[in-house]
Amino acid sequence: MNAREVLATSFLALENTVAGVRDDQWDAATPCSEWTVAQVVQHAAADQLVWAGALGVGPGPAYDPFSPSGTIDGTAAELVKNAVEVGRAAWATVPDDAATVPTPLPHGELPTSVAMVMCALDAAVHAWDVAVATGQSSPLGEELAGHLLAAARQIVEPLRQWGAYAPVVEAAGDPSGTPVADELLRYLGRTPA
């Protein structure tokens, strides 16, 4: 799986997971302890618009991604579909041979494949948050999780100081044989369950 495939798989995971949310689940608690399902969806959609804006496509979100209201105009599926379409359009402008691209991260420009996978990380992990909160299957397959974990290990540590990621959740017992998806989730401050 190359970086573009990781991104496409993550976008699809977010779209499919949001489409699977029932009408009575929007106020459900999520692994993002301060946010409901609706707020995580708003945040995830806004993240993609922020990434697209860093690449010079679109105006960015109309609200602060870190203060989602929980009130979605229209449907959540439409909100996410629009954000993913803008994200796809933005990444389509990046040539395959581009060495680096601008990012919305404090790191600034990053190697293109790392930036692309970090953008994918936002979509895939928030898809997992929504899936867990709504009783859906995890969208994080082992191959996808492996790519996301490799990029996260390069970028996430300095972001913890701004609260973008919670501290690592240590595995109980012997971590050998732990699924890669669980390792990724723990690294990002989530408890796999």
Tens digit of each residue's pLDDT (9 = 90 or more) over 41-54: 999 999 999 999 99
74 vs 18, 46, 82, 139, CA distance in Å? 14, 15, 11, 25
Please name the CATH architecture into which domain 3-141 falls.
Up-down Bundle (1.20)
Query: Taking the chain, what is the end-to-end CA distance rounded to the nearest angstrom?
Result: 26
The pLDDT value given to residue 161:
66
Give the residue carrying structure tokens 């499919």: 16
Nearest-angstrom CA–CA distance, 159 and 156: 5
Burial, 53: exposed, middle or buried (Cβ in 10 Å; 0-12, 13-18, 19+)?
middle
The pLDDT value given to residue 66:
87
The pLDDT value given to residue 105:
84
Across the chain, how many H-helices and E-strands are there?
6, 2
Q: In 93-190, which residue ranges form alpha helices assigned H by DSSP?
A: 112-134, 142-160, 180-187
For residue 60, pLDDT beyond 60? yes
Question: What would the pLDDT profile of 68-115 be if each residue is shown by its tens digit?
Answer: 999 998 999 999 999 999 999 999 999 999 999 999 888 889 999 999
Question: What would the pLDDT profile of 147-184 be if each residue is shown by its tens digit?
Answer: 999 988 887 776 666 666 677 778 776 566 678 899 88
Burial, 175: exposed, middle or buried (Cβ in 10 Å; 0-12, 13-18, 19+)?
exposed
Beta bridge partners of 100: 111
Q: Evaluate if pTM is beyond 0.85.
A: yes
